[in-house]
Structure 1
């Protein structure tokens, strides 16, 4: 009987925490103890989670339109809103505070002159006046930006700009650049231009070439990331021009050059002797082709022959460059022009040779860029994370004439970059504008790379200036 009474008293003692915990674990099983604990726990009153003030205001005042004192109508839709919230907008603040007829109206019809503004964008923009945070989809950011600019909402305009800068890629860059130009977002324009300069040549894309309306600005820039040599810039422009004239063309990027060349060949077979840029169809492309640095194309025989074959450029363009380069060569041979000896960044930006190389993986590389560079045979080496320039005169074979002058001067800028799948820069390094003097067969360490910052494939882009500017040359440009 005592044991039986003891068993009946145990639950009371346990639930009132009289008996020690180890004792209880021996008298009961763990499941008995947990069942009692859960019953006590769930008997406690629960705290009700309150809806945040921002969510309440957005739901009650904006979505439900309660206590609305003004109705906005636009694009066939109505919004029951509140003047006190609309006054956050510079557009409505001026409307309500001035002598405009709308200041006392209960219903306002909004004229929407911008085709980028639609009802979905207005819904987001009006709603932003009633809440703390706004989710802006990259696919909708241009429409929302247009509406935010019309209603003069500086905070939302800034948020649109940040969204655009974070989502620049091959599909968005052109539309973002055009919109940033239209609505005055300089930082977005700069970001898009930087992306295009980095990716136009390194990651060629058919859709991008079809849309690129700022080609002239890209081609004239010394910041253009050129792969291989200047001839590749000309080739890219040939493909771009073909796409502008044949917008319905659809095919892989590898087929594009073949079809562009076939189109030019068909033109020649039809008896067209006039250079294409001199024709009515070619005139719109003249400003862009003007910015090709032809002096670094005609220095290579195969490239010079292609220029003649394509018959795109007017002959007077080429004859002027041939004359210029001939005098530059004579200066290096007979007038002791050993290259630039003082900083002339304007000359460098306008006329430097643009070339590049893709390093697919870590390892040892050594290369030179094609073309005659006034007897300056420059070898570039990447080894053990060092990039080295070497002025080759006697130690390595060379296909052309080599200058044996004791010293040669060189102006250069070397940039390295790697990109993610969207074309954003993952890591980058630049030497900036530099002058160096090299003796015969001398090596010069240009850059020592930190392995922690390296990511492959690695793109190397160089700008070089081998000769000093002359008065004739300045006049030619």
Structure 2
């Protein structure tokens, strides 16, 4: 026969990969470019070439980036590479909110996005509302795969598209429509309790009309009863708490340390109008209860001893988004009185690399 036709069981296998995998039987080593590693992995898995599979694993470990992370993740799932799957998921948790691009948003499928959003390890630089904003852009790109434009135009175009759709639907929440139902499992991972206690964020949620009202009513009820309990009984937490975050109930927020210079920022309005100041100076990170005098609708701010359950995480990433430095605390109970300062992280004698992403998870105790 001049031509032999082979039906491959895997669409990732192509003629070149089959040729290279066959040649590997007669070579001590071979060069696998990152752009060819998925095809080579598929072929080696079919032929049970363990040495080639291991070489693919090493290439993937060294070359994970925004351009390769999704294809590596999906391949690792298909061919049972648990180490690569875990590594790619961690990359997405570190980078999805810090350097997200249009291309990356297009490649992340529904199941993967659900896993990323559900994780308390997601590096949120800002507040929970930023997770919702990112999800809205991601959903737009999934629905409009032909969209092209500058990244700066993505958000206004997303808002315009959903606004037009909302007018056509006459008030039906988008996630309850035929097009929107597929995205329900992903948006159900949003931590709405930490979004709607900010007035502007709550208004955006209602104006967008993406989420069903049935999701919001229980959250508003909890938020109303919580301040009432705080105001009338002064019981914001149990005396003894075994702190963990097994169900993803923590509030995620963050900031950045651009250099080894003194800086500070403030996380506002969580845990019944309490503002927490984060200070960095002389390689120490300090939490301080804010003494700023401002008007609140309920007079619970700074009236008595406050407690916080928190986990602090620091990360530095290289140009490709891979972690070169990590440091974290376990979940800790932190008691703060008015104007009190407490050190929560000491970076002395640490091999610190700036820029540092500072992420914190706060547990809402009541």
| Local SS of the residue matching 1:389 | strand
TM-score, scaled relative to structure 2: 0.92
2:241 is equivalent to residue 345 of structure 1: no
* Distance of aligned partners of 1:397 and 1:456 in 2 relative to their CA distance in 1, 3 Å threshold: farther
Structure 1, unpaired ranges of 5+: 1-72, 78-108, 469-477
2:253 is equivalent to residue 366 of structure 1: no
Higher relative contact order (CA 8 A, sep 6+): 2
* Distance of aligned partners of 1:454 and 1:397 in 2 relative to their CA distance in 1, 3 Å threshold: farther
| Matching of residues 103-118 of structure 1 within 5 Å | 111-118=7-14
CA distance in 1, matches of 2:212, 2:27: 61
Q: Which residue in 2 is equivalent to 1:267?
A: 165
Which of 214, 227, 230 is the matching residue for 1:332? 230
Q: Is the 8 A contact 1:388 1:445 kept in 2?
A: yes
Q: Which residue in 1 is equivalent to 2:313?
A: 415
Q: Is the 8 A contact 2:195 2:202 kept in 1?
A: yes
Q: Is the 8 A contact 1:409 1:466 kept in 2?
A: no
Q: Which residue in 1 is equivalent to 2:361?
A: 463
CA distance in 1, matches of 2:7, 2:153: 48
CA distance in 2, matches of 1:343, 1:351: 14
RMSD: 2.1
Q: Which residue in 2 is equivalent to 1:95?
A: none
Q: Which residue in 1 is equivalent to 2:127?
A: 229
Structure 2, unpaired ranges of 5+: none
2:48 is equivalent to residue 126 of structure 1: no
2:44 is equivalent to residue 145 of structure 1: no
Q: Which residue in 2 is equivalent to 1:293?
A: 191
Farther-moved stretch of structure 1 (147-156 vs 308-317): 147-156
TM-score, scaled relative to structure 1: 0.72
2:218 is equivalent to residue 320 of structure 1: yes
Which of 244, 247, 260 is the matching residue for 2:142? 244
- Number of aligned residues: 361
**Residues 364-391 of structure 1: per-residue CA shift (max 9 Å, x gap):** 2221224342132211111222110112
CA distance in 2, matches of 1:210, 1:451: 41
Once superposed, which parts of structure 1, at least 4 consecutive aligned residues long, lie more than 4 Å away? Answer: none
CA distance in 1, matches of 2:338, 2:289: 6
CA distance in 2, matches of 1:460, 1:175: 28
| Local SS of the residue matching 2:114 | helix
* Distance of aligned partners of 1:162 and 1:333 in 2 relative to their CA distance in 1, 3 Å threshold: farther
Q: Is the 8 A contact 1:328 1:467 kept in 2?
A: no
CA distance in 1, matches of 2:37, 2:118: 30
* Distance of aligned partners of 1:306 and 1:371 in 2 relative to their CA distance in 1, 3 Å threshold: farther
CA distance in 1, matches of 2:31, 2:233: 66
| Local SS of the residue matching 1:427 | strand
Q: Is the 8 A contact 1:374 1:466 kept in 2?
A: no
* Distance of aligned partners of 1:453 and 1:302 in 2 relative to their CA distance in 1, 3 Å threshold: same
CA distance in 2, matches of 1:254, 1:286: 26
CA distance in 2, matches of 1:208, 1:148: 27
